[in-house]
Structure 1
């Protein structure tokens, strides 16, 4: 099996996919954090392509950075300064060549994630 990485974002406060959210992917090697890709979610809250396709997959530590504050602003969520949730980093490891799915469940005051399928 070849490994790859996907995600999706659900806006649990509005009960819908989080369309238009920017997501950055970083490779973490010790103290070095290397930016690999920037994508936006589509109308289904997913990216149009795999975040890390099989051709680029390698075992290691990664970080997904979800730009939740910009998304919340764009959806008309009442502003606060500063936002309780703005930038949400999720750091995780991929230890085998498999499909890793790292979703984000978001509301203005909480979030959760898990290893999905």
Structure 2
């Protein structure tokens, strides 16, 4: 089985994005949810993950509303494939009008 973590960084402030709600789905089924800590991290989501396609949904609208900043993206959805047994880390680099992600380590 595989494990999953995430990390959200606010590129405008140059700091971790704390208190971002994140939900994990497999298909339409919600598997788990959490909120980023003071370092912008969620250390574990979903427990042991079997092979398949998953989706992380980040509540970026809620985060930016808390910062009193307008955003073009009220949420960011990142689909990814679990293909082998390993730890998967999905970071999100965030600003009000752009975002990027990659498979971390």
2:10 is equivalent to residue 22 of structure 1: no
**SS in structure 1 opposite 2:13?**
coil
Structure 1 residue ranges without an equivalent (≥5): none
Which structure would you say has the larger Rg?
Answer: 1
Question: What TM-score, normalized to structure 2?
Answer: 0.95
Structure 2 residue ranges without an equivalent (≥5): none
Deviation string 1:48-103 (CA, Å, 9 cap, x unpaired) is: x40133xx3211100000000110010122x3xxx411111101101001111001
Q: 8 Å contact 1:6–1:52 — kept in the other structure?
A: no
The whole-number CA distance in structure 2 between the counterparts of 1:84 and 1:27 is 26
Matched residue pairs, number? 105
More strand by share: 2
> After the TM superposition, which parts of structure 1 deviate over 4 Å for at least 4 consecutive aligned residues?
none
Note the aligned Cα RMSD (angstroms).
1.1
Q: What does 1:17-96 align with in structure 2 at a 5 Å threshold? A: 17-28=16-27, 33-47=28-42, 49-53=43-47, 56-77=48-69, 79=70, 83-96=71-84
